[in-house]
Structure 1
Amino acid sequence: MTLFWIILATTVAGLLSIAAAASLSLTVLSRMVNKMVSLSVGVLLATALLHSLPEAFTTPGADISSLFIALLAGLLGFFILEKAALLRHSHHHEHDGHGHHHGHDAESAGKSGWVILLGDGLHNFADGILIAAAFLVDPQIGVLTAVAIALHEIPQEVGDFIILLNAGFSKAKALLYNFISSLMAVIGGVLGYFFLDSAQALIPYVIVLASSSFIYIAVSDLMPQMHRRPKLKESLEQVFLIVLGVALVLFISELSHLGHSH
């Protein structure tokens, strides 16, 4: 029965966070994707630097040097993946003469979308292991953990949806791929149930790799887009939305911690 509850909790937590994020991202926010890219930068950087990485580096028994190596490997790895995507698509788009969704030039359309999906999948996988570990301690703690994780995933999922729309994905594809990515939590939950000790040892490294994708996308793809709008009014809007994204992650994290503590 415990395995059943773990699978149910990881599935429902993923669906709830995606449904909440999609209701915002694919309706109201999809009409102003260019502006919302700045919000996504704040959300991604805050999730990585103020939530996920501190969690990974403060894990009992964590090898700090190895985690920094994983962070470096992740950043370089995502650069190589993105470079491979550019090489694969550059010939097709070089002379097609067509514009891309929301003004993205041909060589950059779509590449950041795949990187963010991979990073989000890794993050969901780690969340699944955490939910499984909580259920194996106490089913009530498991439910509270799943709720807390679903809650703090919402701003990150909003950022992911905006990045996918900005990268040229249709609304239907953005929803489908985010749903597939959320299923990694179920895989993590099942793995955690059967191999808890070894799975838990993986968590800090998986979280660091996921965080490296969030940092990479924010700094290498989204911020350069924002620099293409250098006017003072646009720049002030960008700074405000980045700060708002950071504040949103901090607020949601605080709420989820309060819920978990009770």
Structure 2
Amino acid sequence: MTLISILVGTLVAGMGSVWLAALLAYALLSRFTQHLLSLAAGALLATAFTRLLPEAFELSVEAGVSAHALFVALLVGLVFFFLLDKAELWHHGHEHGQDHAHGHAHEHDHSEHVHHTHDHHHGHSHSHQSGGWAVLLGDSVHAFGDGILIAAAFVADPRLGIAAALAVMAHEVPHHVGDLVVLRQTLNDPRAALFKLTLAGGVTAIGGVMGYLLVGALHEYLPFFLVVAASSFIYVALADLIPQLQKRLSPKETAAQVTWLFAGIALVAALGEWAQH
């Protein structure tokens, strides 16, 4: 039953986020992705600090793991994801790092950045030929890691797994919108771009199965798996999502941004209450 839940959760998080991103990107609803960024940041932070870390500490008491060891694991996780992020940017360079960043700019404020994004893509047309594969490879690796983290959460508590899967889906949607922008430029075929990105998202399920087998075999290390999952969510929220929200906005736009941020936190809290009944 746990394995089935993991498969459903990882498919929803992996493929579901791609299709929701396509709805936003292709249905010209990109203005909503800015709100989704705020929602995702709130959901990730709330899942890490109110769900994953408390569960890890509770399990650590049963497993005889010290709080110091868990905090060290949290620190190592944050540094690891920072280095992983740097390695990805260094490896792909203009192929992925800048394209992905400009994809975000395109998705977040279409009217403001459309000419700048167009000029960038025109100037780097050669990079796009391999940039599409870089995007797909990067997404596949990232999806595999997400699957392992979701599996760890499901093994600890099905309610925790649901929260983790929804949090992953929420933060992947804005990323996939940017990826679809890049892939459409590369492939010149929206359907092919969506199909290939969906396959990359499906790798989340493979990671989920591997995570289930790995966590099951190393159950005593489950608190550390949960802490690593929390460090991933915290890093993505603080290093990726929130910096994109740190720009000068009107009071009305700022209020909307903060509202959506708290909505993400409230969503996780409401999910936790609902799952307990």
With structure 2 as the length reference, what TM-score do the two structures score? 0.69
Q: Are the aligned partners of 1:10 and 1:185 in contact in 2 as well (CA < 8 Å)? A: yes
- Alpha-carbon deviation of 1:89? 2.9
Amino acid at match of 1:10: I
Give the percent of matched residue pairs that are identical in Structure 1 and Structure 2. Answer: 31
Alignment equivalent of 1:71, drawn from 69, 74, 77: 74
Against the structure 1 CA distance between its residues 90 and 72, is the aligned structure 2 distance closer, same or farther, given a 3 Å change threshold?
same
Structure 1 Cα separation of the partners of residues 254 and 15 of structure 2: 31
Q: Residues of 2 paired with 1:155 and 1:182: CA distance? A: 14
Partner of 1:103: 105
Q: Which residue of 2 aligns with 1:120?
A: 146
RMSD over aligned Cα atoms = 3.6
Where does residue 54 of structure 1 map in the other structure?
A: 54
Amino acid at match of 2:91: R
Q: Which runs of 5+ in 2 are unaligned?
A: 107-116, 121-133, 181-192
CA distance 1:16–1:166, change in 2 (3 Å): closer
What is the Cα deviation at residue 165 of structure 1? 2.2
Distance 2:240 2:141 in 1: 10
1:108-145 deviation digits (Å, cap 9, x = unpaired): x97x9689646523312313544xxxxxxxxxxxxxx6
- Which amino acid letter does the alignment assign opposite residue 50 of structure 2? L
Q: Indicate conservation of the 8 Å contact 1:74/1:212, yes or no.
A: yes
Alpha-carbon shift at residue 95 of structure 1 (Å): 9.8
Report the more deviating stretch, 9-18 or 248-257: 9-18
Amino acid at match of 2:39: L
The match for 1:39 is 39
Match of 2:264 in 1: 245
8 A contact 2:19–2:198 mirrored in 1: no
Counterpart in the other structure of 1:135: none
* Equivalent residue in structure 2 for 1:156, among 143, 167, 170: 167
Q: How many residues align?
A: 232
- The SS at the match of 1:50 is helix
Between structures 1 and 2, the one with greater helix share: 2
**In the alignment, which of 89, 100, 122 is matched to residue 86 of structure 1?**
89
Runs of 4+ in 1 over 4 A off after TM superposition: 16-26, 91-96, 112-116, 169-174
Deviations 1:39-94 (A, max 9, x none): 11001101111110111012122321111011001111111111112222335579
